[in-house]
Amino acid sequence: MPKNTFKNFSLLLILILGLLTISLPLIVVQAQPPPTGINNPLSANTFTELFFSIADWVAGTAATVAVLMVIIGGIQYMVSGGNEEKVATARKTIQWSLIGLIVILASWGLLQALLGILGITIT
């Protein structure tokens, strides 16, 4: 008899814990006050902040790609095996990647200077 009682008690305990586990998220959701407005999913509050955030992201991504292209050009140069056509291709890859990187950095610097001239602070 005591074995059967322990089995019934453990099943009842598992059932109660299961129901509490399932219902706890519903209790927590009901306990929170309703939202009072629309949340801003962006990190920017004005169009200017949004524009410069996007410009920073684009400049960072483009600079990363330019650096990767310089690395790819270096690998092409190393595996060219003295073949003049492959060496020329590798040099052009490195040259144009560096030119692109300079243009990217110059445009990013120009945007930062423009921010300073206009007195805009981005948080």
72-93 pLDDT, tens digit per residue, is 999 999 999 889 999 999 999 9
Q: Is residue 22 part of a domain?
A: yes
Count the domains in the chain. 2
61 vs 115, higher pLDDT:
61
Return the closest-CA partner of residue 55 out of 113, 97, 95, 99.
113
53 and 44 in contact (C-beta within 8 Å)?
yes
Residues 23 and 67 in one domain: no
**Across the chain, which distance is largest between two alpha carbons, in Å?**
93
Residues 25 and 65 in one domain: no
Q: Which domain holds residue 18?
A: 1-34
Residues 57 and 28 in one domain: no
Residues 56 and 99 in one domain: yes
Tell me how far CA of residue 72 lies from CA of 50, 53, 97, in angstroms: 33, 29, 10
Residues 113 and 54 in one domain: yes
Residues 65 and 108 in one domain: yes
* Reduced 3-state DSSP string for 55-119: HHHHHHHHHHHHHHHHHHHHHHHHCCCCCHHHHHHHHHHHHHHHHHHHHHHHHHHHHHHHHHHHC
Position 30 scores a pLDDT of: 56
Return the closest-CA partner of residue 73 out of 100, 50, 45, 54.
100
pLDDT at 25 over 70: no
Q: Is residue 123 part of a domain?
A: no
Mean pLDDT estimate for the chain: 81
Residues 18 and 66 in one domain: no
Report field, pTM of the whole predicted structure over 0.85: no
Residues 97 and 67 in one domain: yes
Residues 28 and 52 in one domain: no
Position 44 scores a pLDDT of: 76
Return the closest-CA partner of residue 104 out of 53, 67, 51, 74.
67
Residues 30 and 59 in one domain: no
Residues 68 and 113 in one domain: yes
Q: Is residue 40 part of a domain?
A: no
Residue 2 pLDDT grade (very low, low, confident, very high; cuts 50, 70, 90): low
